[in-house]
Structure 1
Amino acid sequence: MSVTPDAPLISYYGDDLTGSTDVLEALSSQGVPAVLFTQIPDDAQLARFADYRAIGLAGTSRSESPAWMRQHLAPALTWLRARGASLCHYKTCSTFDSAPEVGNIGCALEIGRELHDRHCASIVVGVPQMKRYTAFGHLFAAARGEVYRIDRHPVMSRHPVTPMDEADLRRHLARQTSLDIGLVDVIALGMSDIDARVDTQRQQHDALLFDVLDETGQASVGRQLWRTRPSTGSFIVGSSGVEYALLAEWRRQGIIGKAPRFSNPGPVERIAVVSGSCSETTARQIRQAQADGFHGIKLDVESLTDETVASAERDAVLAEAFTALQAGRSVVLYTALGPDSHHEALSSTTRHQLGQQLGYLMREIVRRERLTRVVVAGGDTSSHAIRQLDIQALTTRLPLPETPGSPLCTAYSDDPAFDGLEIAFKGGQIGGDSYFDKIRKADIA
């Protein structure tokens, strides 16, 4: 399959917003102009980015049911395939957390494979740049300087919605799909006959999982993904490790050039943060933000999700936030400080409603205080909150090498209050303790 200069190299669907901006950063920071749409754009919105070589669509499937996926995911992937890219990527979190009833990756794999002529799909989860590794089909992830098997990870093994209790990714997926999944392990990747081995496995299996333990192996995987793509396009499931693998191959072949330089936008006096994350990582960041002078506001989840009192609760929260912002302080609005049993008991509908309420609070804060930079923390939170901000598209404003996967983005909107807004979407496990203040300062050192 030849590559024409004006055709997209890749299209992708992110199963939540933070995962979508992870891919956006990986591509744009390495010389692939990329745009992320928050919904299928109209012709005028699409034309604005006609020369971009990567097109993304941010979704919410990580927090949705298989029934929702069958109704909504197929049209989204169909639209992406119509962009004519060589590859279509269903982006998952690098921790691959999912369950049969919520965020079912196996269901997404089935849908995408059907839309791509039932060719063998590829699965790539390891991404060393984010300290995520796969070896012999098992997933490992770092936490505070130590690497754990994912089913022993101090955070992901206790995720409030989709706890990872199985490190063998093929066994994990077997709970979600009956598709037959093969494995190209770290040993095979280093063999001289790797091409023949991969070709044979692609004929034998419905999908093929590739190990990624280090950047050398990652580059080998990228070569296989690009080499084996069908003429009608290939379907891939996995983390941003997909893009990092392909970038190495594209650069080797001269398809892309040098990485661009991004100007630093500099610090701002005030930012606002809303967080629906239950992660211990985010909890440390919230505490550190308050130590750095942010005004913290603990949100009453029960009140915000009760239609009879939600309006009064929002008004009280906004009044407190406006007072702090007018005094020159940044604010952080949060629903939890670490794992929260109350969050675990929330239904899917209520969690979505909570994300929408956080988006509403952010919308009113930006409008009233004319903020130019904000942060939304939590994958599910971000996906539902952005719907309240009338943002149609995002591009990378400033990559953050210290915390890959959480770039500062530029928003595009028909509403002047949000057009040009600098916004970061942070997953629960992403970033150091000072992340929020670093965003305020645009400190990438």
Structure 2
Amino acid sequence: MPTLGAIADDFTGATDLATMLVARGFRTVVAVGADAVAALADAAQTDAVVVALKSRTAPVAEAVDDSLKALHALRAIGCRRFYFKYCSTFDSTPEGNIGPVTDALLAALGERRTVVVPSFPATGRTVYRGRLFVHDDLLDESPMRHHPLTPMRDSRLQRLLAPQTAHPVTRVGLDTVRAGAAALRAALAEPVHADALVVLDAVDDTDLTAIAAATEEFGLVTGAAGLAVGLTGPHPGAARARPASRPGDVGVVLAGSASAATRAQVAHALDHLPHRRLDLHRLRADFDTAVAELTAFVREHWAADPARPPLIYAVATPDDIETDTPAGAEPPAALVERALAACAVTLVAAGARRLLVAGGETSGAVVTALKARTLGIGAPIAPGVAWARTEVCPAGTAHTVDLALKSGNFGDTAIFTEAWEQLV
């Protein structure tokens, strides 16, 4: 029976955390939405359940409501400790949603304090003196400064979080974290932190291990997937899900993210894979026909060279980002999500059994359109990215497919061409 319940604010974040938990010895399942939790067929053989929500950029009230529903569902199946997972780049706006969701979860659990730990050193995210770094750059000097949905223009986590929460926001520095779990536990028990969201410095995995040990009695922790580095599950060497597809099965890459990392991955793939960029003007003029043309392009290349998965993408360079959306037109991000989700539905019906999706919002749209309910974590591809086995039923016919959901900021440059090697 699961004892650890996690609530992730997007779908790539859910698989990111689940991948880490499996590596740490937790038999883990990702449930797509709160309603899927109660229907878990193998809950008795599970140590952790991660609920994947599409709440990162949702209205605050909706994000809070969805998160509380997930919490209720996790408690109902026996979970006793909880983890609110958000992005390691702390993606949010001044209104939320990290602060409001954290406040709501604390209140529902009867807890007064928690920690804030977005560090994930394996992907270059660290916190020092309360400032969040992306590799060598401060958050507000990184490409996240120009994110189209959640532009991050401050690196000080206390200052970012304070407008979002009713709790004080305090900080514990690296010296205390490095003093060890006992010292950190004592510091967190001080009155100044009794009713607070406590930002913790962490720059390497040993820091995360100390934090996990110091907070093992907390009813709720919050952070990126890196915090799971310090956890130890009851089943070391927990088996990963076996691939659903077989050698020779066709696949596709659907890239909706406009992040700098994904743009570099797209640019690399343009030299190696058949590709087609989304034409937003064409989609607005005749959505169904434009999607049919895109999926026909993919099927033609499957027939010619099934070993090379075609790429459908939104952005390869900053010049591809639409800056002059026609008045009254569907916003570009929403249109990209809808188009790639429609492509996924058509292509699975046409035989796709391997899908690599780039972008958190895009991943949420694709998984929702495919009507996936649970994800079994399979082979890792990169830090924070893994293949997952899932049953989809987009048009009344069930198919079991391999699905990789990649955060826009994660993965090596060659991930779109090399990820398939893990499906053996």
TM-score by length of 2: 0.89
Please state if 1:326 is matched with 2:315. no
What residue in structure 2 maps to residue 284 of structure 1? 264
Deviation at 1:90, TM superposition (A): 1.5
Please, which of 329, 341, 348 is the counterpart of residue 366 of structure 1? 348
CA deviation profile, 1:371-396 (whole Å, cap 9, x unmatched):
22111111111011211112111011
Identity %: 25
What residue in structure 1 maps to residue 141 of structure 2? 152
- Which runs of structure 2 are paired with 1:215-254 in the superposition (5 Å)? 215-226=205-216, 228-229=217-218, 234-247=219-232
What residue in structure 1 maps to residue 85 of structure 2? 91
- In 2, Cα distance between equivalents of 1:93 and 1:348: 26
What residue in structure 1 maps to residue 66 of structure 2? 72
- In 1, Cα distance between equivalents of 2:37 and 2:163: 40
Amino acid paired to 1:239: A
Please state if 1:56 is matched with 2:50. yes
CA gap 1:418/1:243 in 2 versus in 1, 3 angstroms: farther
CA deviation profile, 1:255-305 (whole Å, cap 9, x unmatched):
44346578788854642011111012212212222322x21111112443x
Deviation at 1:96, TM superposition (A): 0.6
Contact 2:241 2:377 in 1 (8 A): no
Amino acid paired to 1:151: D
CA deviation profile, 1:240-259 (whole Å, cap 9, x unmatched):
02211223xx5xxxx44346
- In 2, Cα distance between equivalents of 1:70 and 1:261: 32
Which structure 1 segments of 5+ residues have no match?
1-5
Contact 1:12 1:55 in 2 (8 A): yes
- In 2, Cα distance between equivalents of 1:418 and 1:435: 28
Please, which of 113, 131, 146 is the counterpart of residue 124 of structure 2? 131
Please, which of 378, 401, 407 is the counterpart of residue 386 of structure 2? 407
What residue in structure 1 maps to residue 278 of structure 2? 299
Contact 2:27 2:48 in 1 (8 A): yes
Contact 2:241 2:388 in 1 (8 A): no
Please, which of 385, 392, 396 is the counterpart of residue 373 of structure 2? 392
Amino acid paired to 2:7: Y
CA deviation profile, 1:11-65 (whole Å, cap 9, x unmatched):
1111111111001110112321100011234587313333200101111111212
Amino acid paired to 1:295: P
- In 1, Cα distance between equivalents of 2:386 and 2:291: 28
- In 1, Cα distance between equivalents of 2:75 and 2:269: 42
CA gap 1:263/1:84 in 2 versus in 1, 3 angstroms: closer
Please, which of 150, 153, 164 is the counterpart of residue 162 of structure 1? 150
CA gap 1:392/1:275 in 2 versus in 1, 3 angstroms: same
- In 1, Cα distance between equivalents of 2:89 and 2:38: 36
What residue in structure 2 maps to residue 375 of structure 1? 356
Please state if 1:29 is matched with 2:23. yes
Please, which of 94, 100, 112 is the counterpart of residue 119 of structure 1? 112
Amino acid paired to 1:388: A
Please state if 1:104 is matched with 2:97. yes
CA gap 1:261/1:118 in 2 versus in 1, 3 angstroms: closer
Q: Secondary structure at the match of 1:399?
A: strand
CA gap 1:76/1:348 in 2 versus in 1, 3 angstroms: farther
What residue in structure 2 maps to residue 3 of structure 1? none
Amino acid paired to 1:408: W
Deviation at 1:160, TM superposition (A): 1.5
- In 1, Cα distance between equivalents of 2:317 and 2:78: 42
CA deviation profile, 1:47-89 (whole Å, cap 9, x unmatched):
3333200101111111212132234332222222333323211
CA deviation profile, 1:140-194 (whole Å, cap 9, x unmatched):
112xxxx2111111x1122122111111101011132232022221111233643
What residue in structure 1 maps to residue 336 of structure 2? 354
CA gap 1:261/1:62 in 2 versus in 1, 3 angstroms: closer
Which structure 2 segments of 5+ residues have no match?
none
Amino acid paired to 2:133: F
Contact 1:19 1:91 in 2 (8 A): yes
Contact 1:267 1:442 in 2 (8 A): no
Contact 1:356 1:387 in 2 (8 A): no
CA gap 1:277/1:42 in 2 versus in 1, 3 angstroms: closer
Amino acid paired to 1:114: A
Q: Secondary structure at the match of 1:61?
A: coil
CA deviation profile, 1:328-355 (whole Å, cap 9, x unmatched):
2421111111445427969997634531
CA gap 1:291/1:57 in 2 versus in 1, 3 angstroms: same
TM-score by length of 1: 0.85
CA gap 1:395/1:344 in 2 versus in 1, 3 angstroms: farther
CA gap 1:443/1:412 in 2 versus in 1, 3 angstroms: closer
Q: Secondary structure at the match of 2:339?
A: helix
CA gap 1:42/1:74 in 2 versus in 1, 3 angstroms: closer
Deviation at 1:322, TM superposition (A): 1.7
Q: Secondary structure at the match of 1:50?
A: helix
Deviation at 1:203, TM superposition (A): 5.2
Deviation at 1:119, TM superposition (A): 2.3
CA gap 1:11/1:302 in 2 versus in 1, 3 angstroms: farther
Contact 2:139 2:154 in 1 (8 A): yes
- In 1, Cα distance between equivalents of 2:375 and 2:311: 23
- In 2, Cα distance between equivalents of 1:351 and 1:74: 27
CA gap 1:261/1:112 in 2 versus in 1, 3 angstroms: closer
Deviation at 1:438, TM superposition (A): 1.0
- In 2, Cα distance between equivalents of 1:334 and 1:239: 27
Amino acid paired to 2:344: M
Please, which of 261, 269, 291 is the counterpart of residue 314 of structure 1? 291
Contact 1:94 1:240 in 2 (8 A): yes
Greater Cα offset, 131-140 or 187-196: 187-196
Amino acid paired to 1:297: R
- In 2, Cα distance between equivalents of 1:343 and 1:72: 32
